[in-house]
Amino acid sequence: MTSLSRGWERIRNAGLFWPLAALALVMLFNLIFTPNFFRLEIKNGHLFGSLIDILNRGAPLMLMAIGMTLVIATAGVDLSVGAVAAICAATATVLVGNVTGATNMPLWEVIPITLGVALLCGLWNGLLVSRARIEPMVATLVLMVAGRGIAQLITGGQIITVYYERFFYFGAGYLLGLPFTLFIVAGVMLFAWLMTRRTAIGLFIESVGTNASASFYSGINEKNVKLLAYVFCAFCAGIAGIIISSNVKSADANNVGLYMELDAILSVVIGGTLMSGGRFSLAGSVVGALLIQSVTTTIYAFGVPPEVVLVVKAVVVLFVVLLYSQPVKVALDKLSRRRGVRA
Amino acid sequence: MAQDSTTILTMTGISKAFPGVQALSDVDFALRQGEIHALMGENGAGKSTLIKVLTGVERPDTGVIMLDGREIQAKSPLQAQAQGISTVYQEINLCPNLSVAENILLGREPRRLGGIDWHALNKRAAEILRRLEVEIDVSQSVGMYPVAIQQMVAISRALDVSAKALILDEPTSSLSAHETDKLFAVMEKLKSEGLGIIFVTHFLDQVYRVTDRITVLRNGKLVGTYPTAELSRVELVAHMIGRELSDLEAVGRYKTRVVEHDHAARVVEARDFGRIGGMKPFDLDLYAGEVVGMAGLLGSGRTETANLLFGVDQPDSGNLTVEGKKVTHHAPLQSIHMGMGYCPEDRKADGIVGDLTVRENIILALQASQGWFQYINPAKQYAIADKYIELLDISTPTADQLIKNLSGGNQQKVILARWLATEPEILILDEPTRGIDVGVKAEIQKLVLTLAQEGKTCVFISSELDEVLRTSHRVLVLRDQEIVAELGMDDLNEQTIMQIIAGDTHDEPL
Amino acid sequence: MKRTPHIDRKYLPLMVTIALFIGLYLYGMVQYRGFSSPQVFYNLLIDNAFLIITSIGMTFVILAGGIDLSVGAMIAFTTVLSAYMLENLGLSPILVIPGVLLFGVLFGATMGAIIHFFKVQPFIVTLAGMFFARGMCFVISTDAITISDPFYRAVALYRIPVFGTGFISINVVIVLIVLLAALYLAHLTRFGRTVYAIGGNEQSALLMGLPVARTKILVYMLNGFCSALAGVVFSIYMLSGYGLYTNGLELEAIASVVIGGTMLTGGVGYVIGTVFGVLIQGLIQTIIMFQGTLNSWWTKIVVGLLTLVFIGLQSAFNSPRFIRRAEARAIRAEADPALEAAK
């Protein structure tokens, strides 16, 4: 192989290259066509601007993408994250209650209980996949369908509106001039990174996702690795649910996190983690989520109906998926090899 | 190769190379009308590649295939089938959810009034099966029937496509003795109708019961084709394993010492240990500082024994004591904690984790034994990886190379390194040298002896007898899921082992 | 060698489904006054006509071992496209109906071709299809378009009396025609049997010389047609087109198929079971309606749990040998490509 083809290979194999390139492209587009896109202002000591907006609004998706990354890396998928977010949003708002300026339960109790509910959801999914050996897509479909019903059960079918200032802080508050959501995302990201890269968990997840049989022969408890991934994924979805309900000051069981499971999967795939499992990139998934959010924000900025974003997403999904597909890969390999031979 | 008027199929000068392996080199094969022809050879001999070439799954690099005097070049199993070469694979390629009748006739089902004529379909399928003396309800799903019936259904489908040659790939491996008898009766019947049958199996008894001729392959080369009646079992085993009776050598000079089996050094003690369908209950003792070879043909229970010892498979009976502690929970992780290591037979499926680096593959078992939170930090990982890359002379540009990009021999060394890194007291090696070039083979054999010298115990499983003899202090011979003999240093010679493998001690060839 | 099993286990889930439907119906009749009126049953058909049609299409996809997430969006898109062509372009229904049906077929064919030729998971491709169809709705119109076309209105309002016991709509007649056609396709044509064969064991189907590629693409075409037809039926039912219609309907369709006794892994199941699957969901809704105090979210929870129960039933009904064989096949399939990749 020549240095040319090897260089090309290295670029293609560099995990973050494609998602970052795509993100840069969107930014470049905005630089040229969207006035004031890159302008940052300070109002009341808080930073404002489109970029901050993207980060802030993208927070729930980034969280879900982080959790989903681990699940997909074990060669699974979690379709229930949207429903889990809805359940957690419902739980949090019901616990806070709709009393003006007050809460039924102190927040330091509300948050752990809500996250506990999320962990239970994850445990359910994880047990179905790892112990009952049901195919991940099928197993998580159950909670995806039933989850919204459970969320409605919790809210009593109402859209619960909360009037407790301090609860809004999670989704709309500022810390050191930056949206508080960013700190949450950074915290979860740091936690996920430490968990996967500073313990053996990341290695085990990649090993199980690549070759479950060989991992078993090497003494890895494949079942618990999978269980952990689903529990963590639901945990992330739970935090996302709290942020969403806090941001919109209410919980609508039907609409919180709707279609977000699909966006989360898409973020992970764009970020370079294969649906077939194995190697994963947390940073890639976060960049993927940011890319989706930037595209959305950009389209909003042009006054196009927000739903049209879906068409763009469809094209992006298709492009990414075809790029990673086996026949295209084989063709590309052949191409670079032939070039190598000729040179 | 002898040609005569009754020859229907000839393969001449077939060669096929896969990256890194010459799977077949210049192999000739001929099938006559109305004969049952056994194709024999150990793993890696090239049987399956030859079958794949014949059935159009693989294209040969060189060579000609003639059927009925006409050259054929099947590009797919489908084309091969259309030309008259049908195959019933070991895994029986049927759709378990469809009815027996559909499995036989789908694709050429009788039609009536623009739809499938189910009545006629069932009737015709039942007729076809009756030819094989099988009477079953053909409207039931195939998956509901025992494997033996499924086999018959698969054969029926193959026959209905005007077959001239029928390939049966390990058809008896999951059949009971009675079912096997039935299958043989059908094979005899088809033979008398003029069909040529290629019978791939590893059961010697069966070969001598039904076949007319035997072709033996070894290491991708043709050893020879022999009339079954003229080849003794021992000769057959010798051909398969690759030691000619004439160049038998005195064995024992390879080893420097004899291991004293004093009671204190017993590290593994299995009593009445077995698993239904894997190994019949056996007793086994392993001592520190010895290499125990396991000889036997494919399917004799070699790998099954290893899987049982390491906790990959759960035992149905008996118990296992390792280093004086009784094993209560049979699982690889527990075995690692008890000081065991295991290089599985199928390197690709059960050994390497392809998308991980050499370094990660090396530390995998060590890390698994240390648990989730006692993380081996990267610096230490590199140190361990580099140590074993050097020790085992693994040829890789860096420790960060993906293991899937390494050659087979180097992949095997990485798997060995994975286990050496856990510093096991007992190391089980199942076919550690398969598909590996001679130089690396010798290195691995030397390594095994070195480990024994350091006081470790090695179980060495190989289908290459000379290798087993060269490395082992003691050899267990397996046949039909039983340990049939244990040979100490003094009794170790190839002829004895081959005779035991062949079951020749009490059963003369036809 | 005469061994005849007593009952073919593949019928058991179907029997359970039908028994469940009858049981629920009897429960309703005993418990609530007015439930025994035949019109209750006819309404079940009238209100679920579109769901039955799209679920029948989904049955074929799932039988062949695939999945299609785009059906809900496709129905919405059909309603919008129909309404737009009728109202804004003033086209005749004679052109509009064949036009949208043709679009459905082409849409399905495209997805099927990508799935087959690029070997991409159906899940991802149809997800992109779903985004695309949903987005295109809003490219055409962001608001609901009321259909005032006289033909559509006449069809919508027409009541067909049933022996003086009540009435059904023309949509129900369409459902019955689709059902008969589907039964014919599934059980009396080579196409149908090939669908089952592919779902049972794609490798074997290939070796048997069945047209696997063509059939797989045809299945998605058929489903595209069914969802477009369901869209036509739905636009007659609602007399309007709107991009927010039938959100999440793909889940209800999948749940119907599973509750109808079809295995999500493909190969086993019946079209008629799916019809009962839809009717059971409708019946639960009706009972909850009659009950009066229970809330509608219970439907989702019950449907989710039923889905799980049926997934469990299927694995229980399938003999271990069946499963072990499938596992062995999967392992072998994994091992094979690895062989090629070796250098």
Is residue C223 predicted with pLDDT exceeding 60? yes
Residue B1 structure tokens: 């190769």
Rg (CA), chain C: 21
Predicted pLDDT at C108: 96
Domain ranges for chain C: 9-341
Same domain, B402 and B443: no
Expressed in percent and rounded to 5, the helix, strand and coil fractions of chain A are: 70, 5, 25
Buried b (16+ CB within 10 A) or exposed e, B398-428: ebebbbbbbbbbbbbbbbbbbbbbbebbbbb
Do C196 and B116 count as a contact with CB atoms less than 8 A apart? no
Q: How many CB pairs under 8 A join A and B?
A: 75
B418 lies in some domain: yes
Is residue A60 predicted with pLDDT exceeding 70? yes
Task: Rank A225-239, A279-293, B275-289 by mean pLDDT and report only the highest.
Answer: A225-239
Same domain, B83 and B214: yes
In chain B, what residues touch C268 (CB-CB under 8 Å)?
97
B250 lies in some domain: no
Nearest to C304 among A132, A146, A157 (CB): A146
Q: CA nearest A265 in C: which residue? A: C124
Q: Which residue matches tokens 């049953």?
A: C41
Same domain, B192 and B293: no
Q: CA nearest C181 in B: which residue? A: B115
Q: CA nearest C329 in B: which residue? A: B91
Q: How confident is the model at residue B221 (pLDDT cuts 50, 70, 90)?
A: confident
Contact B164, B195 (CB under 8 A): yes
- Domain encompassing residue B495: 265-339+425-510
B199 lies in some domain: yes
Do B106 and C207 count as a contact with CB atoms less than 8 A apart? no
Same domain, B167 and B310: no
Nearest-CA distance from C204 to chain B in Å? 5
Instruction: Please state which CATH number belongs to domain C9-341.
Output: 1.10.3470
Task: Rank B34-43, B294-303, B397-406, C67-76 by mean pLDDT and report only the highest.
Answer: C67-76
Nearest-CA distance from B114 to chain A in Å? 37
Residue B243 structure tokens: 């030691």
Predicted pLDDT at C327: 41
Is residue B247 predicted with pLDDT exceeding 70? no
Q: How confident is the model at residue A329 (pLDDT cuts 50, 70, 90)?
A: confident
Q: Which of residues 288-327 of C touch B (CB under 8 A)?
A: 319, 321-322, 325
Contact C223, C60 (CB under 8 A): yes
Do A219 and B356 count as a contact with CB atoms less than 8 A apart? no
Rg (CA), chain A: 21
Ramachandran angles phi, psi of C260, nearest 5°: -75, 0
Dist. CA A206–CA B449, nearest whole Å: 34
Nearest-CA distance from B116 to chain A in Å? 33
The mean per-residue pLDDT over the stretch C147-151 comes to 91
Predicted pLDDT at C109: 95
The mean per-residue pLDDT over the stretch B157-171 comes to 80
Give the H/E segment covering residue B281: strand B279-287
* Segment B480-495, tens digit of pLDDT: 888 888 888 777 777 7
Q: Which chains touch C (3 or more CB pairs under 8 A)?
A: A, B
Residue B435 structure tokens: 């598909």
Dist. CA B205–CA B509, nearest whole Å: 9
Fill in the amino acid letter for C333. Answer: A
Domain containing B45 — which CATH number? 3.40.50.300
Predicted pLDDT at C18: 92
Is residue A8 predicted with pLDDT exceeding 60? no
* Segment C105-133, tens digit of pLDDT: 999 999 999 998 888 888 888 988 988 99
B202 lies in some domain: yes
The mean per-residue pLDDT over the stretch A229-250 comes to 91
* Segment A23-33, tens digit of pLDDT: 888 888 888 87
The mean per-residue pLDDT over the stretch A143-171 comes to 81
Do C120 and A148 count as a contact with CB atoms less than 8 A apart? no
Higher pLDDT, C236 or B242: C236
B1 lies in some domain: no
What is the pairing mode between strands B266-275 and B340-343? Answer: unpaired
B254 lies in some domain: no
Long-range Cβ contacts of C209-213 (<8 Å, 24+ apart): C209/B78, C209/B81, C209/B107, C210/B106, C210/B107, C213/C116
Q: Which of A210, A329, A9 is nearest to C118 (CA)?
A: A329
The mean per-residue pLDDT over the stretch A123-145 comes to 85
Same domain, B60 and B136: yes
Do A213 and B376 count as a contact with CB atoms less than 8 A apart? no
Q: Is A217 on the interface with C (CB under 8 A)?
A: no
Contact A295, C88 (CB under 8 A): no
Same domain, B94 and B147: yes
Nearest-CA distance from B75 to chain C in Å? 12
Q: Is B247 on the interface with A (CB under 8 A)?
A: no
Q: Which chains touch A (3 or more CB pairs under 8 A)?
A: B, C
Nearest-CA distance from A15 to chain B in Å? 14
Percent over 70 (pLDDT), chain A: 93
B248 lies in some domain: no
Do C295 and A265 count as a contact with CB atoms less than 8 A apart? no
Nearest-CA distance from A145 to chain C in Å? 5
Q: How confident is the model at residue B19 (pLDDT cuts 50, 70, 90)?
A: low
Q: How confident is the model at residue C330 (pLDDT cuts 50, 70, 90)?
A: very low
Dist. CA B304–CA B414, nearest whole Å: 23
Predicted pLDDT at A1: 43
The mean per-residue pLDDT over the stretch B247-253 comes to 37
In chain A, what residues touch C299 (CB-CB under 8 Å)?
149
Nearest-CA distance from C263 to chain B in Å? 11
Q: Is C7 on the interface with B (CB under 8 A)?
A: no
What is the domain count for chain B?
A: 3
The mean per-residue pLDDT over the stretch A68-72 comes to 95
Q: Which of A92, A59, A284, A55 is nearest to A184 (CA)?
A: A59
Same domain, B222 and B175: yes
Could you tell me which residues are beta bridge partners of residue B487? B475
The half-sphere exposure of C208 on its side-chain side, counting CA atoms within 13 A, is: 32
Length of chain A: 343
Contact A93, A245 (CB under 8 A): yes
In chain A, what residues touch C112 (CB-CB under 8 Å)?
none
What is the pairing mode between strands B426-430 and B340-343? Answer: parallel
Q: Which of A217, A221, A280 to mutate to test the interface with B (most CBs of B within 10 A)?
A: A217
Is residue C253 predicted with pLDDT exceeding 60? yes
The mean per-residue pLDDT over the stretch B321-345 comes to 89
Predicted pLDDT at C328: 44
Chain-wide mean pLDDT for chain B?
83
Predicted pLDDT at C12: 77
Task: Rank A155-169, B287-301, B486-500, C2-16 by mean pLDDT and report only the highest.
Answer: B287-301
* Domains detected in chain A: 47-303 (1.10.3470.10)
* Segment B74-132, tens digit of pLDDT: 887 778 888 888 888 776 778 888 889 999 888 888 888 778 888 999 999 998 888 77
In chain C, what residues touch B91 (CB-CB under 8 Å)?
325, 328-329, 332
Predicted pLDDT at C206: 83
